[in-house]
Structure formats: C-alpha cells, structure tokens
Amino acid sequence: MQTKISYSSLMQERVSCRSFTDEPLSPLHWKALQSFIDAPRELPFGSRTRFTLIDKNPEDHSPEARDTAAGSRGGARLGTYGVIRGARTFIAGMTVSDGDDQALEDYGYAFEQVVLFAESLGLGTCWLGGTFNRGGFAEAAALAHGEIIPCITPVGYPLGKRSLIERVMRTAARSSKRKPWNELFFTKNFNHPIQKDTVGDIEEALRMVQIAPSASNKQPWRIVFDPGSSAFHFYMHTLAGYAGNKLGFKIQRIDMGIAMFHFAQTAVQAGFTGTWSRKDPGVFIPHFPNGQVSYFATWHPDNSGSIGEA
Ligand SMILES: Cc1cc2nc3c(=O)[nH]c(=O)nc-3n(C[C@H](O)[C@H](O)[C@H](O)COP(=O)(O)O)c2cc1C
C-alpha cells in the first residue's frame, strides 16, 4: 500500500493546516486512515511505533469507527491551546523511547508517512509536538507502560481560510521559507556545498529533504555526500537552548526522521533503494554558530551506479 503512493508530489503539496471545518471524518476516510495507521511498517532502526485515532465525539461516528476511536466525551482535555481550530479528530503517535534515542528518528519516519497518507486523501494535518495537552491525549490514547506521546496531528477537512493565530504562527516560524541548498547539502565535507546536477536523479531526494516540515521550521538536517562510496551522511544541527528539545524528548531527532523518510522514499522513486546504518565517517565538523552539528545516520545506495556521475 505504501509504495503505490506518489510521495514526492504529496511532500510538495503538504502544508500545515491549523483551521478545519467541524465536519466529522467520512466513514471512508476514517476506514482508510485506520487501516493505514495499523499497517506494519519497516523503520530504519527497527523501533516500535503505534498510532491511534482520537475523536472528540466518538459517538458521532459509525459503530465500526466508534469501536476504534479512542476519545474523551466532549473532548474537554483534548486541547491545543487554541492553535488548532475546528478539528475534532486527531492522530496520536506513541513510541518507547528515553527521549534521546533512535526511536525518535523512527517515529518521525513513520509519522510522516501517516501525515502524507492523510494528504493523499485530501485531509489537512499539522504536526504538533509542543502545543497540545499531552496529559489529556495520553489518557485518550491509553499510553502503555514505557510509552511516550511525542506528537499528535489534527486530521480533517481544511477550512481554506487561516485563523489569526495560524497566520501569526506561520509568520513567527517563517513557515513558507526554507534554508538555501548551500547551507544544507555538502560534498566530502562541510566546506563544499553540493553543486546541483552532480548527483544525478538523486538530487530530487535532497530537494524533498529541503522542503520537509520541522519543529519551529528550524530545519536541523545537514547532509554530506561521499562521492567515493556514494553514501549520504546525515547530521543534525542542534540549536543551543531550543525549547523544543526540552519537552522530555529531543524534538529535533523527530525532524531528522522526517528528513530521512523524505530522502529514502524519493530515492526509491528515482530508482535507488538503500540501507540506513550508523557509523560515523569522521568528517571534520567545523564550528557552527548557535549550536552544534553531530553525526546521525548514513544512507548507502544498494546500487550506486549512477550517483555522482553526472
Ligand atoms: C516535529 C514537529 C513538531 C511541531 N510542533 C508544532 C507545534 O507544537 N505547534 C504548531 O503549531 N506547529 C508545530 N509544527 C509545525 C511546524 O511549525 C511547521 O511544520 C513548519 O513551520 C513548516 O511549515 P509547513 O508545515 O507549513 O511547511 C511542528 C512540526 C514538526 C515537524
């Protein structure tokens, strides 16, 4: 099911939606989401994630949907501090993590698939890692021992008009902008930005990393391409003092997982399958202002034939 979706067009269409009509999800959409979130998925580091649909008013749904919806009558505790308007259904994602491990990258990798699948159904979503009542959602999702609930997303029909708070948030995070290519992607080491047209068809995968969503739109991903082995080494620019990393888990690790999914999935569509590993190649990391850059993971193509030959 997952490979049939044209993810790169969805990656380009997706934009955070914070204003929804208050219509309940149609039974068809509910069923499609339910089966997608329940499907087993392979994640780069083999962690476990679990998703659940939560509805503020499960009693408004068909008996089948009512059976699967977690929820709290009236939705009193399913708040988003006023950031999300009109949504009545949410997807909560759970994982087992100490807050600073690879389960968070796997989590971002898996949850972005869910977000893009919702996009394929024409539904609006917005990653939320900070602005939601974690306790209320944890209760509705029946958090198991050891699980954490790093993020949720509302899911529903976009209103088509942004609320004032949504416009303010987008302006504050400069959500419509992304960092330029030469600040993100390098060849051999951090001194040489990757020249466009030098990595063949896989350039599209880098472009999809560049447009990925990230917490507060901080875009922590940095990638160094090694022309010798055709490997792409992923690094994270952790911002000093960033509040998003002090929620009991490092939210920027989730951003890295999202970028990894955008990269690997687009590479597959360009004809390159690959494998993730974690072995620091020892590339010299210069001083970066406002934080530090650290090695994260490496993507190796299974067949490196045409990478770097253009
Ligand atoms: C892991 C993660 C956590 C996020 N947390 C929040 C949040 O708590 N509240 C919010 O309004 N937006 C949140 N966002 C949305 C980002 O602000 C948004 O993705 C970014 O500004 C880029 O805008 P776009 O999604 O429209 O492309 C989060 C995004 C990610 C990836």
- For the chain, the domains span 7-167, 181-301
**Do 7-167 and 181-301 agree at the fold level?**
yes
Matching CATH number, 181-301, of 3.90.110.10, 3.30.70.260, 3.40.109.10, 3.30.560.10:
3.40.109.10
Would the pLDDT of 68 be above 60?
yes
d(CA 282, CA 275): 19
Could you tell me the pTM of the whole model?
0.95
What's the CA-to-centroid distance between 304 and ligand 1, angstroms?
34
Give the DSSP H/E element, type plus range, for residue 63: helix 63-68
Atom 10 (ligand 1): residue with closest C-alpha?
Answer: 128
Higher pLDDT, 310 or 147: 147
Calculate what percentage of the chain has a pLDDT beyond 90.
Answer: 82
Mean pLDDT of 85-112: 97
Dump pLDDT digits (tens) for 175-199. Answer: 999 999 999 999 999 999 999 888 8
d(CA 102, CA 99): 9
**7-167 is classed CATH 3.40.109.10:** yes
Mean pLDDT of 145-159: 96
Q: Torsion-angle region of residue 19: left (phi > 0), alpha (psi -120 to 50) or beta? A: beta
What's the CA-to-centroid distance between 268 and ligand 1, angstroms?
26
Give the model's confidence band at 310: pLDDT under 50 very low, under 70 low, under 90 confident, else very high: very low
What's the CA-to-centroid distance between 128 and ligand 1, angstroms?
6
